[in-house]
Amino acid sequence: MRFLHLIWCNLKRKKLRTSLTILSILVAFILYGYLSAIRAALVGGISLEGANRLMVRHKVSLILSLPQRYQERMLRNPGVALATHQTWFGGIYQDPKNFFMQTPVVPEEFLDMFPEFLLPPDQKAAWLKTRTGAIVGRKTAERYHFKIGDKIPIQSPIWAKSDGNHTWEFDVVGIFDGKNKNTDTTSLFFRYDYFDEARQMNKGQVGWYTIRVRDPEKAALLARQIDDEFQNSSAETKTETEAAVAQGFAKQIGDIVLITASILGAVFFTILLVTGNTMSQAVRERTGELGVLKAIGFTNLQVLGLVLAESCLISLLGGGLGLALAWALIAKGDPTGNLLPLFHFPASDLRLGLIGVVVLGVFTGIFPAVQAMRLRVADALRRM
């Protein structure tokens, strides 16, 4: 645009002030990025693959188990495409601080149910051949330098082996990656048959089931049907969609969304105030020059446009750089050192941020721009 040079030169007028303003906006958008990532990490990944899955657990309490024979009863329901189970193992690798989840699973069903875990076919074959075999997620493997062929000892306070020993040893036969950015690759999965045979207590009992629904539209109906099926059995069930489970979990932590939104609100209100004030000052200093532009023949609307373009350019520079920096910094990983395994900058929030940049530019400029528009030429020239 032909006016770009003029706008740009106006910004260079007070380089220090413009730079500081751009820097404040930049910092605000880095903060926005981090808050989005924190929110996403705590609220959890609601994945595309999870859209057609349900979770079935004991109705009374999370810590009670369900019989393994429930599986075939579930499969009898035509709405159920696939069912598999997992159990809480609660093991410790060396130090309780090294927390990552380990669960016994039925390998083929499990990999079918959770296609977001990517395992090369040769490693899958090795797992099926090795009873004590386990697959580890890339993140945990990198953290503790696990390699295929390693033997990992895990202490389980809850589960004792039939020989009374609480130490379980697993052979690493595979390392899996996540299909999406928000797929959790911190867990370890081992074979249920090994687990059930070796454990002392609770044989034949599992922690929870995951079901794939044939028709996602009928998910809620299927959930009710499943709960009805087991209503008068020894263990009653509670069936929910994966999304509902994630949200429920997040709600337990607290209203994260509210907290992050409030902080962002406070930050942006402040930025608006500070930047808007800077823009107003800049316009006030240039009253004479704006008068000259009008004398030359710039219309009121054109003058308004010039001021608005300046504020938008500042916002674009600060916000654009801020979002880019946030992206880069967040990609470096979790600032809390592993407490938040799913730490990333969601694309939807990035898009929202870009919209925010434009909105900020308009809002900080509109008031001074209108003032500039309303300047009466003769007065402005006299004030010069």
Phi and psi, residue 314, nearest 5°: -60, -45
Q: Based on the shown chain and the rule CB under 8 A, indicate whether residue 63 belongs to the binding site for other proteins.
A: yes
Site for other proteins in 92-111 (CB under 8 A): 92, 96
Residue closer to other proteins (CB basis): 118 or 273? 273
Site for other proteins in 109-148 (CB under 8 A): none
**Do the beta carbons of residue 225 and residue 79 sit within 8 Å?**
yes
Q: Based on the shown chain and the rule CB under 8 A, indicate whether residue 332 belongs to the binding site for other proteins.
A: no
Site for other proteins in 267-326 (CB under 8 A): 267, 269-271, 273-274, 277-278, 280-281, 288-289, 292-302
Q: In the complex, what is the shortest distance from the CB of residue 82 to other proteins, in angstroms, rounded to a whole number?
A: 26
CB burial string 117-148: b at 16+ within 10 A, e below: bebeeebbebbeebeebbbbbbbbbeeeebee
Residue closer to other proteins (CB basis): 263 or 324? 263
- CB-CB neighbours of 93 under 10 Å: 18
Residue closer to other proteins (CB basis): 180 or 270? 270
Q: In the complex, what is the shortest distance from the CB of residue 364 to other proteins, in angstroms, rounded to a whole number?
A: 12
Among 69, 203, 251, 383, the residue binding other proteins under the rule CB under 8 A is 251
Cβ-count burial of 271 within 10 angstroms (0-12 exposed, 13-18 middle, 19+ buried)?
buried
Q: Based on the shown chain and the rule CB under 8 A, indicate whether residue 255 belongs to the binding site for other proteins.
A: yes
Q: In the complex, what is the shortest distance from the CB of residue 12 to other proteins, in angstroms, rounded to a whole number?
A: 6
CA 225 from chain centre, in angstroms, equals 32
Residue closer to other proteins (CB basis): 186 or 278? 278
* 377 vs 219: CA distance, rounded Å: 68
Q: In the complex, what is the shortest distance from the CB of residue 16 to other proteins, in angstroms, rounded to a whole number?
A: 6
Beta strand 80-86 pairing with 208-213? antiparallel
**Do the beta carbons of residue 208 and residue 86 sit within 8 Å?**
yes
Q: Number of residues in contact with other proteins, rule: CB under 8 A? A: 79
Among 48, 51, 62, 125, the residue binding other proteins under the rule CB under 8 A is 62
Site for other proteins in 158-217 (CB under 8 A): 158, 166
CA 8 from chain centre, in angstroms, equals 37
Site for other proteins in 364-383 (CB under 8 A): 376-378, 381
Residue closer to other proteins (CB basis): 7 or 81? 7
Q: In the complex, what is the shortest distance from the CB of residue 168 to other proteins, in angstroms, rounded to a whole number?
A: 13
- What are the DSSP calls for 132-194, one per residue? TEEEEEHHHHHHHT--TT-EEEEE-SSPPBTTS--EEEEEEEEEEEESSTT-----EEEEHHH
Residue closer to other proteins (CB basis): 180 or 200? 200
Nearby residues of 381 by Cβ (< 8 Å), 6 or more positions away? 288, 291, 292, 295
Q: In the complex, what is the shortest distance from the CB of residue 312 to other proteins, in angstroms, rounded to a whole number?
A: 18
Site for other proteins in 219-238 (CB under 8 A): 236
Among 101, 247, 320, 370, the residue binding other proteins under the rule CB under 8 A is 247
For residue 56, the cross-strand partners are 209, 239
Residue closer to other proteins (CB basis): 273 or 352? 273
Q: In the complex, what is the shortest distance from the CB of residue 378 to other proteins, in angstroms, rounded to a whole number?
A: 5
Site string for other proteins, 337-356 (x = CB under 8 A): x-xx----------------
**Structure tokens that stand for 35 in this block:** 């808050």
Residue closer to other proteins (CB basis): 226 or 245? 245
Residue closer to other proteins (CB basis): 87 or 111? 87
Among 13, 69, 218, 351, the residue binding other proteins under the rule CB under 8 A is 13
Q: In the complex, what is the shortest distance from the CB of residue 335 to other proteins, in angstroms, rounded to a whole number?
A: 6
Q: How far is CA 195 from CA 93, 109, 160, 163, 168, in A?
A: 17, 16, 10, 13, 9
- Residue type for position 178: G
Q: Based on the shown chain and the rule CB under 8 A, indicate whether residue 65 belongs to the binding site for other proteins.
A: no
**Extended strands (E) in 63-131:** 66-67, 80-86, 102-105, 117-118
Phi and psi, residue 137, nearest 5°: -70, 150
Q: In the complex, what is the shortest distance from the CB of residue 75 to other proteins, in angstroms, rounded to a whole number?
A: 25
